[in-house]
Amino acid sequence: MRDSTVVDARGLSCPEPVLMTQSALKAFGSAAFSVEVSSASARDNVEKFLQEQGRTAQVETIAGGWRVTAEEG
C-alpha cells in the first residue's frame, strides 16, 4: 500500500532522519507514512527506529535513495 504522506529526509545525515521519523510518529499516530533517505546508514537507522517503536517497516529503492514506509499499526 502506498501512502501520500512522505517525509523528505534526503541529503540529511543522522540523526536528523531519525528525529524527523520520531516527529512523524507523533504527528501521524498509527497511520502509514514514508521517509525518504539518500544514505544507507539513514535507511538502516530509520528502519531500526521504526521497528523499536513496534512498527513494521518496508524498504524500497527509489531514485537517489530509499523509501522506508511505516505500515499502519
Beta bridge partners of 60: 67
Specify burial of residue 33 (Cβ count, 10 A radius: 0-12, 13-18, 19+).
buried
What is the structure's pLDDT at 3? 46
| pLDDT above 60: residue 16 | yes
Query: For residues 1 and 73, what is the distance between their CA atoms, to the nearest angstrom?
Result: 13
Per-residue pLDDT of 27-67, as tens digits, reads 999 999 999 999 999 999 999 999 999 999 999 999 999 99
Strand-pair category, 57-62 with 6-8: unpaired
| pLDDT above 80: residue 2 | no
Query: For residues 27 and 40, what is the distance between their CA atoms, to the nearest angstrom?
Result: 25
- The whole-number average pLDDT for the span 5-9 is 96
13: which 3 cell numbers? Answer: 545525515
Q: 6-66 in CATH: which number?
A: 3.30.110.40
